[in-house]
């Protein structure tokens, strides 16, 4: 299993890192549309759909993202211009922020189910489309900056794992994800805060202010944990261990991006509100 995980991770890095640094923005958007299409196919499994409807959903979502990137290239920074904050983009990100910050905590508490119809499709759209858009737009900050944003989620996962292993006694959500503990969540908060402060000091950043920086990091940590718990609950309700096996040893695309789906749209929203005027 470890060998399989390592090989898969190396293959992914071999594809994603060169793409992140060297692909034109339009091709980066289309590559991510393909990944999101796979995630949409996996979402169909959470809805309890059969294979062919799942494939149709994956193709439809990938095609929709691809068409959007071609129809409005300026929104993703392709075609020589970058106008990332039309009202519809802000509405998409705001809907995602309300969903993750307001609706999902209630959902986790009540343990609602997705169902197989319109609600499940709407939720899937709120989970996947803003993620695709955020990962495309945030690349305009630079590949290294986007990796730095990914590292917030990675740090949360790593710190939660090790602090949970070392100190975990009190279950965070035993009926959803028995392995997660409050001590692990606290470790994630500390780890992300430390990472953010080191980056801030290393780059001599003065904006945003230190209190606001810490507040945003705490918010992102909490939202990343919520995203992880939400996918765990959906898989448990669907009776599956992994979203798929397309990534041997790692499960599926949704398993790898669960925390990114909740955090990256909020990061993109904050960035646009701070930097770009509403159009």
Mean pLDDT estimate for the chain: 87
pLDDT at 52: 93
The tally of domains found in the chain comes to 1
Contact 279, 68 (CB under 8 A): no
pLDDT tens-digit profile of 228-265? Answer: 899 999 998 988 888 888 877 777 889 888 889 999 99
| Residue 254 is assigned to a structural domain of this protein | yes
| Residue 99 is assigned to a structural domain of this protein | yes
Q: Is 14 exposed, middle or buried (0-12, 13-18, 19+ CB in 10 A)?
A: exposed
pLDDT at 76: 92
| Residue 23 is assigned to a structural domain of this protein | no
pLDDT tens-digit profile of 149-169? Answer: 888 888 888 888 888 888 878
| Residue 71 is assigned to a structural domain of this protein | no
**pLDDT higher than 70, residue 278:** no
**pLDDT higher than 80, residue 181:** yes
pLDDT at 204: 67
| Residue 63 is assigned to a structural domain of this protein | no
Q: Which residue has the higher pLDDT, 188 or 279?
A: 188
pLDDT tens-digit profile of 182-236? Answer: 888 898 888 888 888 888 777 666 666 777 778 888 888 999 999 989 999 999 8
For residue 87, which phi and psi values (nearest 5 degrees)? -60, -35
| Residue 187 is assigned to a structural domain of this protein | yes
pLDDT tens-digit profile of 59-74? Answer: 999 999 999 999 999 9
pLDDT tier at 277, thresholds 50, 70, 90: low
Q: How far apart are CA 58 and CA 26, in angstroms?
A: 20
pLDDT at 175: 79
Whole-angstrom CA distances from 111 to 43, 102, 107, 143, 263 are 18, 15, 5, 37, 21
Q: Picking from 8-17, 107-116, 180-189, 204-213, which range would have the lowest pLDDT averaged per residue?
A: 204-213
Does the predicted model carry a pTM greater than 0.75?
A: yes
| Residue 30 is assigned to a structural domain of this protein | no
pLDDT at 108: 92
DSSP β-bridge partners for residue 177: 173
Q: Domain limits at 260?
A: 82-275
| Residue 250 is assigned to a structural domain of this protein | yes
What percent of the chain clears pLDDT 90, i.e. is strictly above it?
Answer: 46
**pLDDT higher than 60, residue 89:** yes
């Amino acid at each position: 299993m470890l060998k399989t995980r390592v090989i898969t991770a190396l293959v992914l890095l071999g594809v994603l890192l060169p793409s992140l640094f060297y692909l034109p923005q339009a091709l980066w958007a289309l590559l991510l549309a393909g990944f999101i299409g796979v995630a949409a196919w996996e979402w169909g499994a959470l809805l309890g759909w059969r294979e062919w409807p799942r494939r149709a959903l994956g193709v439809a979502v990938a095609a929709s993202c691809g068409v959007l990137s071609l129809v409005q290239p300026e929104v993703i920074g392709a075609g020589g211009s970058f106008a990332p904050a039309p009202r519809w983009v802000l509405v998409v990100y705001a809907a995602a922020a309300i969903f993750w910050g307001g609706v999902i905590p209630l959902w986790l508490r009540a343990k609602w189910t997705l169902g197989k119809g319109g609600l499940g499709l709407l939720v899937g759209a709120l989970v996947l489309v803003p993620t695709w858009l955020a990962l495309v737009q945030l690349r305009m900050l630079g590949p290294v900056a986007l990796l730095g944003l990914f590292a917030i989620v990675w740090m949360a996962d790593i710190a939660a794992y090790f602090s949970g292993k070392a100190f975990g006694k009190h279950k965070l959500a035993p009926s959803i994800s028995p392995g997660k503990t409050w001590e692990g969540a606290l470790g994630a908060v500390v780890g992300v805060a430390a990472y953010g402060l080191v980056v801030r000091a290393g780059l001599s950043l003065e904006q945003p202010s230190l209190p606001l920086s810490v507040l945003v990091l705490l918010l992102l940590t909490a939202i990343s944990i919520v995203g992880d718990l939400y996918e765990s609950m959906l898989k448990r309700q669907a009776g599956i261990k992994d979203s798929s096996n397309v990534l041997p040893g790692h499960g599926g695309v949704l398993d790898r991006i669960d925390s990114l789906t909740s955090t990256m749209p909020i990061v993109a929203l904050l960035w646009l509100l701070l930097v770009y005027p509403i159009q």
